[in-house]
Structure 1
Amino acid sequence: MPELGFVFVGKQRKLFEDIDKLLPERPRRWFTPDRFSGEETFSFWPLYFIDLESAPLNFPKEQGQVIFVSKNRQLFGELENLPENFLGFLSLPVEKNNLFSLFHKAQELFATYLDILNMTREISLEREILARKNALLSFLNRILTRSTETLELEKIFKIAREELKQVLEVKEIGGVFWWQEDLSSIQCFIPQGNAEKVFSWQEYLLEVVKRFTKKEVREFQLNWLASEEEQEKLQRENIILVPLKHAQKVYGCMAILTLAGESLGKDQFQVLQSACTHLGLAIRNALRFEEVKLRADHDGLTGLYNRRHFDQALRLELKRHQRSGRNLGLLLLDVDFFKSINDTYGHLVGDMVLKKIAQIVQQSVRETDLVARYGGEEFVILLPETPEERAWILAQRIRKKIEKSYFSSGKKKIRVTVSIGVTSLRPEPFTPAEELIARADQALYLAKNSGRNMVCTSSEIECRKLPN
């Protein structure tokens, strides 16, 4: 049985000394970047610690998880293509809690890997002993292999529908998953269709959650699955419901809609249960991967996109607007006297102010606009196909909303203002992203130095203070 071990990739062992001391006694391997191909195999399940400042050209492609390590936190935001087995970032000097948090995540993923490995071995043993089940076991092996080849949820459900048709008359497949006891994250997977069909699936799956958890469902997320069937209401009597368990707890169910409520034999049901267990593990891994991606792209305090995601989006929008010849607008917003708020009322109140401003800004923009926390008390709003005049009007609306809002701190109500720099340009083929940001930053600088609580455009000589 393999065990969890550690692989360090970097120019100097010294960089990993503190990490190495904190980790438990397990197998270890050390590589310099020039001697690491990413194709290495080990007798243990590897947890990679890779120095970003001397990162190899090839990241690990096989089993295991990757943690990027650097003394320079800025490098984390500049990394564009994360490997599929990416687990997290670790900045130096190392913080014990951060390291242990990542290590515990790795242990959970390793446990999942061992579960899958054990299941595969059991399947192989049964195939040798029970020849008559050869076809069914081949089916299990195929569905396990295919479902674990991807982390895209829709593809996993498509694979499930295709493979389960080998043993059942399957029309459609849905599912619902909830692994937090407080039901804070419920994911429903529903085949696309008309309103009646969608509502009947949604109603059924939420009833399933209530049946297993004995709790009312208040919030949930819908995920759409491609459907080849007619737009008809769900026939509940034709559903085979398979619960999925992890650590002896039910965390979700697969709902399989058959042609006419099939009666399953014991062997068929065991195969179906095992197949759905494999699919559930693949779905669970895919959901965790999406959660990691979400955390990597979003600011933990405000829930807005972070600087890393904004920089990527800005480059893409620049290219798109270069082709279309349309104006790309940008607002750069800074909270006035934010340090004074922190010093007077404390950092918890400062955090509350940032979260409420983020909410106000997000509610003020279009769905096509992108709002991000740029850093500290600065926010940035990317406005596709927006000339400067319209961008200025939006900035004015946001400034007024914030100025008229109350930010409560106990019995006190705080008034907060912001300064906003506005710009818009029609990018040329080689216009750099930095030019748009620099123009907005210059306008913001003028607003801050002309009295604050202002909106200033990059094209005007003087900032105009807006009427209350």
Structure 2
Amino acid sequence: MVHLLVHMHGRDTKKPQCPVGECRCGHIDALIAMRRELEELEELVLTDPLTRLFNYRHFSQALEQEQERTHRTGQPTALIMLDLDRFKEVNDVWGHEVGNQVLRHVAGLMVSLLRKIDIPCRYGGEEFALILPGTPLPRAVNAAGRLRAAIAASPVMVEGEPLFVTASMGVSVFLRNSHLSADAFVKQVDGLLYQAKAEGRNRVAHPDLESMTPKGQVGIEEKAALYGVD
């Protein structure tokens, strides 16, 4: 998995050398096998087995780390909360296996459309959380819009028939001067997600750009990015 390997790039992958210079060493072979098993266990702890995205446990840790990075560097951390619309109907009409197929399909779209540094997670059920490090609000909203459009335009084929699904999203950013905890930040963005649901679904809700930027500092490029010009 590309996004997992990116976050594990610091691990030393060189083969250990036998201390007495033997070409074949049973102890070294056992050590390599143990290392492989440890890496597999670490991946299982961090990932959702169905979608192969990061799981809730890793999401919680990663969000706190990115918030701390924002406090240190001043670079904003964006968060997208995504929920599939009327997903219960998919399970009720088509069955849970098709529902699982839809979840895997949407997860694949996330991985293909996001950057390698982004952190896509399965938050629970049909809800996903996407952490975008170093991303201002206009770019985050633009990324969410592209993902929303891709989901709506990319059906899952079921028994030769296209099954279309849509997603609603909430987007906001954590700034250097913010004092929200990780839980409070998630709750804020989750509120925007449900705003998108209430406004008709298949849309992205976000704070007004000018309300989050000091007066006079909203540039033409930021406005263009926010309203769909990348």
Q: 1:373 aligns with which of 118, 122, 127?
A: 122
Is the CA contact (8 Å cut-off) linking 2:71 and 2:177 kept in structure 1? yes
Q: 1:164 maps to what in 2?
A: 20
Answer yes or no: is 1:421 the counterpart of 2:170. yes
Where 2:90 maps in the other structure, the secondary structure is helix
Q: Distance in 1 between matches of 2:91 and 2:113?
A: 26
- Cα deviation for residue 341 of structure 1 reads 0.1
Between the two proteins, the alignment pairs up a number of residues equal to 201
- Cα deviation for residue 277 of structure 1 reads 1.4
* Unaligned residue ranges in structure 2 (runs of 5+): 1-10, 212-227
Is the CA contact (8 Å cut-off) linking 1:399 and 1:419 kept in structure 2? yes
Q: Distance in 2 between matches of 1:154 and 1:441?
A: 39
Is the CA contact (8 Å cut-off) linking 2:67 and 2:174 kept in structure 1? no
Answer yes or no: is 1:298 the counterpart of 2:47. yes
Q: Distance in 2 between matches of 1:369 and 1:339?
A: 28
1:51-450 matches, within 5 Å, as 154=13, 157-158=15-16, 160-161=17-18, 163-165=19-21, 256=23, 273=24, 276-428=25-177, 430-450=179-199
Amino acid at match of 2:20: L
Q: 1:146 maps to what in 2?
A: none
Structure number with bigger Rg: 1
Is the CA contact (8 Å cut-off) linking 1:421 and 1:458 kept in structure 2? no
How has the CA–CA distance of structure 1 residues 290 and 344 changed in structure 2, closer, same or farther, with 3 Å as cutoff?
A: same
C-alpha RMSD of the superposition:
2.0
Is the CA contact (8 Å cut-off) linking 1:331 and 1:381 kept in structure 2? yes
* Unaligned residue ranges in structure 1 (runs of 5+): 1-151, 168-255, 257-272
Determine which structure has greater relative contact order: mean sequence separation of CA pairs < 8 Å that are 6+ residues apart, divided by chain length.
2
Q: Distance in 1 between matches of 2:89 and 2:188?
A: 27
- Cα deviation for residue 440 of structure 1 reads 1.1
Write out per-residue CA displacement over residues 306-325 of structure 1, whole angstroms, 9 at most, x where no aligned residue. 00011111111111110111
Q: Distance in 1 between matches of 2:30 and 2:12?
A: 12
Is the CA contact (8 Å cut-off) linking 2:141 and 2:204 kept in structure 1? yes
- Cα deviation for residue 421 of structure 1 reads 0.5
Percent identity between the two aligned chains: 35
Q: Distance in 1 between matches of 2:42 and 2:124?
A: 19
Higher fraction of strand: 1
- Cα deviation for residue 154 of structure 1 reads 4.0
Is the CA contact (8 Å cut-off) linking 2:70 and 2:174 kept in structure 1? no
Q: Distance in 2 between matches of 1:350 and 1:390?
A: 30
Write out per-residue CA displacement over residues 285-323 of structure 1, whole angstroms, 9 at most, x where no aligned residue. 111111111101000000000000111111111111101
Q: Distance in 1 between matches of 2:40 and 2:12?
A: 13
**TM-score of the two chains, using structure 1 as the length reference:** 0.41
Amino acid at match of 1:306: N
Where 2:121 maps in the other structure, the secondary structure is strand
Q: Distance in 1 between matches of 2:54 and 2:124?
A: 11
Q: Distance in 2 between matches of 1:357 and 1:363?
A: 10
Amino acid at match of 1:339: K
How has the CA–CA distance of structure 1 residues 435 and 427 changed in structure 2, closer, same or farther, with 3 Å as cutoff?
A: farther
**TM-score of the two chains, using structure 2 as the length reference:** 0.82
The runs of at least 4 aligned residues of structure 1 exceeding 6 Å deviation read none
Q: Distance in 2 between matches of 1:458 and 1:348?
A: 36
Q: Distance in 2 between matches of 1:396 and 1:441?
A: 17
Q: Distance in 2 between matches of 1:358 and 1:456?
A: 21
Is the CA contact (8 Å cut-off) linking 1:419 and 1:448 kept in structure 2? yes
- Cα deviation for residue 430 of structure 1 reads 4.3
